[in-house]
Amino acid sequence: MGVPARGALAAIVAISAFAVYLNSLNCGFVFDDISAIKDNRDLRPHTPLKNVFYNDFWGTPMHKKKLYNLEQSHKSYRPLCVLTFRWNYLIHQLDPMGYHLLNVILHIGVCLLYFRTCLMFLSDSATFVSSLLFAVHPIHTEAVRWKSLILSMFFVFTAMLCKEQGITATAVCVFYEIFVIQKIRAVDIFLTLKAAFGGKKISLTWSSEGTKRLTVLTLVTFSLLILRLHVMGSKLPVFTRYLFDNPASVAPTPIRQLTYNYLAAVNLRLLFLPSDLCCDWTMGTIPLIESFSDPRNLATIATHTTILGLLITAILTPNRQTSIILIMSLAMMVLPFLPASNLFFPVGFVIAERVLYAPSMGFCMLIGYGWSILCDKKFKKLTLFLLITLLAAHTTKTFMRNYDWLDEYSIFMSGLKVNDRNAKLFNNVGHALESQGKFKEALNFFNMAVQVQGDDIGAHINVGRTYNHLKMFKEAEDAYLKAKSLLPKAKPGESYQARIAPNHLNVFVNLANLIAKNATRLEEADLLYRQAISMRADYTQAYINRGDVLIKLNRTKEAQEVYERALFYDSNNPDIYYNLGVVFLEQGKASQALAYLDKALEFDPEHEQALLNSAILLQELGRAELRKVARERLLKLLRKDSNNERVHFNLGMLAMDDHDSGSAERWFRNAVALKEDFRSALFNLALLLADEQRPLEAAPFLNQLVRFHPDHVKGLILLGDIYINNIKDLDAAENCYRRILQLDPTNIQGLHNLCVVMVERGKLGLAAQCLERAAALAPHQDYVHRHLAIVKARISRLSPEQRDTEVFDDSFWQNGPKERNFNMGDISNSNGIGSTSGTSGLNNMENSQFLGKTDSVFSNHHNHISHKRSNTDSTNHMVHLKSSSKPARVTLTEMKPEVKNTHIDHDKSNTNLNNQQDYSSGNFFSKNMNSDATELTIDRERAINSEKFDRTASAFSTSGKHGTIRRKDTALS
């Protein structure tokens, strides 16, 4: 067959490889992708490039010393693979399609190289069959998602930098040099060895060039091994989860040997019949073979007999081409499989479909060669039919299998359909449901994992965490204590070593996080954190959470030392820098806090908490150039998550600082739309609208505010002001002020404004009693005494029968502030304004600011409200129930027609009326009172607050992910 025809066949192979994996481009990140890509800091541009060559596949330093018998690195050294991940990230960040597309392209490249390799040994038709079968074989659906495996086949001398199996490429090259280049037959080697043992001397024909090539190959391989061991710290990996992930590794003789040999038969069966594929074959997937009478031993014998038969045929056949094909096929099938076979050293899994990517090359070559032999016989049509059926079945299986890899839930559920004896699969389905917020469904799967593997510590931890999500704290604590009881126990008077999986120490952190919810058990939580740290000195998550507890215990200096100690072990962890920033803010050291928040952003420019809180600190410095930086950081957060209400709120605050009320209103409205119970956003929006003379638009937001937050005093005051001046509903206004006095009976502002309502109603006797109470509570407030004098003067002009004899109701003093029997429906349902219902969201703390007194007296609710500017808050403020220092006096008798409206002066903080107005009834109030006006100030919602810190909490207590702890092949278990 000519070159053009071969090119056409190669094109068909390439197109088939692309078409069968086309639907995999829509898959997301699953399983180990989370640790290797999403959580791997080595992919980020701000991480030094050299780290790729010093860290393992998961981003953990290879040379990191073992502490307290806990393994730190997985020793999976694949820098070229991580480098390609880094290039992917540089182009499209964490969009999974780009990663999958490159994997498919690499797979096509491997298929073409394999096609070219097969042409060296097989006929064109057999090459086409072998290559097409390799391109569409279902066993590759996992491997095509493992770039390291494809790269290890794509490169030869660099293979060891892509995957541990790469070392076997050297052995394949040796076989190729001996049997293909040097043209030495297998039988010749057999006869030479036989003669050597018999004392005879037989020399083989060998070229000097071959010697040079093998010498160079050996030296390069040896050098790479030395380099690899040096990077690994001269230590081989030790898997702490042998007991669970690979039970045979700890089984006694001969159970271990029988099981390991049987695994070869299972792998060969997967190549022949890839019907029951599973993403995880660990734990109890394959029961141990405990006796020689186990019928599965027959499969082991059949497998070894087949391999041995092919090898003998290769040695004894007189046909040199047949010998080369069989030898190279067996070399490509057996040699790459040996490192993962458990026969020479145990590995961290029982079976992994991905490791069959390279062995399948030899397998497909054997199939293609066998097909070519059958085609030469009389079964040509039947053979062709069977081949087409096989390729169609494999193509369909591969295409459908790609859908299983769509997300974590689908891949792990597909595993459970094949294998219900693997507790890890139940755990991982639970984690997938947990990430979707389906905690009850997740709990069912975690409990099934416990039933399948009762001594699985991770499963009990998962149960406890899910109970915590469901607010079933007693059950959560019991589950954590059960997991803790399964850890190795100290033996009195005896010293011994026991390996503990790092993620099993999560039980200490999770239990401590749960206990820390109870303020009376903080010391108990601290003890658990210290226990975890004593077992693993570089356990940064324990340091982070312990620091949080120490802050709650007001031991900020000690918390600072804890975080600094954590930096000693993990100096590149942005969470630690962030939490140090919080500590310094707690200590009142804003500049140092900002420096540490910026440091966190240096290591992780996408750190959301650091972006938000540093923006707030920059804003509070009050400088225009810093506000620009703050805005950039907030807009960056908005691009990441447009549904973050706190970002919208703080952008609104920046707009207020820039005197852009239109933009501020838009941002505040966005924040309220995203979180309808957002305390400060509701109040600030209402205050802004009222300040712009739009009080009727403000009223619904205030009603929404007091419905969700009935104790919001400033909101109640502003709402009462609008009820009096705009809605003209004195009953609703009185309810607002009485509610304030229920919350705080000494609130002069609320009490004084309640007195105004009584004056408005003409109940001067009650107003006088009310003002007397206010004067007694605030004897130094001159305006209260002046207003009391005005009311008494008016009463004195009334005849005895005109005076009201009601007694002032001071039940809010008698009940006390804790007895809140006030019906907020009296407020929110008045006039039908702001009565929409909703559900509360996340708690949002508002920055406590001094409210001050209200010198508001007797404003005329028929007139408009005027305001003044505050230089301290850079936002508009509002006076409620205007004082005499403001325009628009309040009179409680009918006004004469000649009364004129006063001019509003926005530039002065004190405005006096030009004249006192006299009335025919003789009842009037002095309008020439100069008291200092204290206005309501806007609420500044802060992510970092003196009462509640928005610090990085342990991921263990809130999700299935493991924070900065890298998940290996045992992820999510």
Distance CA 432, CA 456 (A): 19
Give whole-number Cα distances, 443 to 408, 448, 728, 831, in Å.
17, 9, 55, 47
Which range is least confidently modeled, 243-252, 737-746, 784-793? Answer: 243-252
- Give the residue-averaged pLDDT of 3-13: 89
Model pLDDT for residues 606-642, shown as the tens digit of each residue: 899 999 999 999 988 888 889 999 999 999 999 999 9
| pLDDT above 80: residue 392 | yes
DSSP state of 762: T
| In contact, 664 and 656? CB cutoff 8 Å | yes
Q: First CA to last CA across the chain, in angstroms?
A: 53
Burial class (CB in 10 A: 0-12, 13-18, 19+), 489: exposed
pLDDT band at 571 (very low <50, low <70, confident <90, very high): confident
| In contact, 371 and 129? CB cutoff 8 Å | yes
| In contact, 630 and 613? CB cutoff 8 Å | no
Distance CA 296, CA 971 (A): 30
Which range is least confidently modeled, 214-223, 403-412, 845-854? Answer: 845-854
Q: What is the pTM of this model?
A: 0.69
Spatial CB neighbours of 588, under 8 Å, sequence gap ≥ 6: none
Beta strands of 766-857 (E only): which ranges? none
Q: Give which of 288, 303, 302, 295 is closest to 258, Cα–Cα.
A: 288
Give whole-number Cα distances, 279 to 20, 121, 792, in Å.
19, 34, 87
Q: What is the sign of the dihedral through the CA atoms of 176, 347, 963 and 498?
A: negative
3-class secondary-structure state, position 220: helix
Token pair for residue 378?
């009389």
3-class secondary-structure state, position 627: helix
Secondary structure in 3-state letters for 264-281? HHHHHHHHHCCCCCCCCC
Helix, strand, coil distribution of the chain in percent, nearest 5: 60, 0, 40
| In contact, 616 and 949? CB cutoff 8 Å | no
Q: Give which of 84, 108, 71 is closest to 158, Cα–Cα.
A: 84
| Contacts within 8 Å (CB) and 24+ apart, 648-651 | 648/674, 648/681, 649/678, 649/680, 649/681, 649/684, 649/941, 650/612, 650/615, 650/616, 650/619, 650/941, 650/943
Distance CA 700, CA 685 (A): 11
- According to DSSP H, which parts of 346-471 are helical? 359-375, 380-404, 408-418, 423-435, 439-452, 457-469
Buried b (16+ CB within 10 A) or exposed e, 944-957: bbeeebbbbbbbbb
DSSP class per residue in 25-83: GG----TTHIIIIIT-GGGSTTS-GGGGGTB-TTS-BTTPPPBTTB--------HHHHH
Token pair for residue 475?
């059950």
Distance CA 122, CA 134 (A): 15
Most confident of 209-213, 337-341, 374-378, 529-533: 529-533
- Give the residue-averaged pLDDT of 748-764: 89
Which range is least confidently modeled, 77-81, 304-308, 894-898? Answer: 894-898
Query: Around Cβ 797, how many Cβ atoms within 10 Å?
Result: 12
Distance CA 519, CA 525 (A): 10
Token pair for residue 441?
């469904």
3-class secondary-structure state, position 488: coil
The single residue listed with the structure tokens 């499963």 is 459
pLDDT at 491: 66
Angle at 364 between CA 362 and CA 365, to 5 degrees: 60
Higher pLDDT, 575 or 175: 575
Give whole-number Cα distances, 154 to 103, 134, 163, 861, in Å.
11, 14, 11, 83
The single residue listed with the structure tokens 């001398």 is 157
Which range is least confidently modeled, 266-270, 813-817, 854-858? Answer: 854-858
Burial class (CB in 10 A: 0-12, 13-18, 19+), 94: middle
Model pLDDT for residues 697-712, shown as the tens digit of each residue: 999 999 999 999 999 9
Alpha carbon 560 to chain centroid, angstroms: 25
pLDDT at 871: 32
| In contact, 500 and 70? CB cutoff 8 Å | yes
Burial class (CB in 10 A: 0-12, 13-18, 19+), 214: middle
Spatial CB neighbours of 520, under 8 Å, sequence gap ≥ 6: none
Buried b (16+ CB within 10 A) or exposed e, 168-199: bbbbbbbbbbbbeebebbbebeeebeeeeeee
DSSP class per residue in 685-735: HHHHHHHTT-HHHHHHHHHHHHHH-TT-HHHHHHHHHHIIIII--HHHHHH
Burial class (CB in 10 A: 0-12, 13-18, 19+), 905: middle
pLDDT band at 901 (very low <50, low <70, confident <90, very high): very low
Token pair for residue 150?
């494809």
DSSP state of 914: S
pLDDT band at 678 (very low <50, low <70, confident <90, very high): very high
Distance CA 70, CA 276 (A): 35
Burial class (CB in 10 A: 0-12, 13-18, 19+), 608: middle
pLDDT band at 530 (very low <50, low <70, confident <90, very high): very high
pLDDT at 564: 93
- Give the residue-averaged pLDDT of 926-939: 38
Q: Which residues pair with 878 in a beta bridge?
A: 936
Backbone dihedral angles phi then psi of residue 533, each to the nearest 5 degrees? -65, -35
Compute the mean pLDDT over every residue in the chain, rounded to the nearest whole number. 77
Model pLDDT for residues 33-68, shown as the tens digit of each residue: 888 888 888 888 888 888 888 888 778 777 655 444
pLDDT at 621: 85
Q: What is the sign of the dihedral through the CA atoms of 439, 440, 445 and 447?
A: positive
Give whole-number Cα distances, 585 to 595, 599, 944, in Å.
11, 15, 8
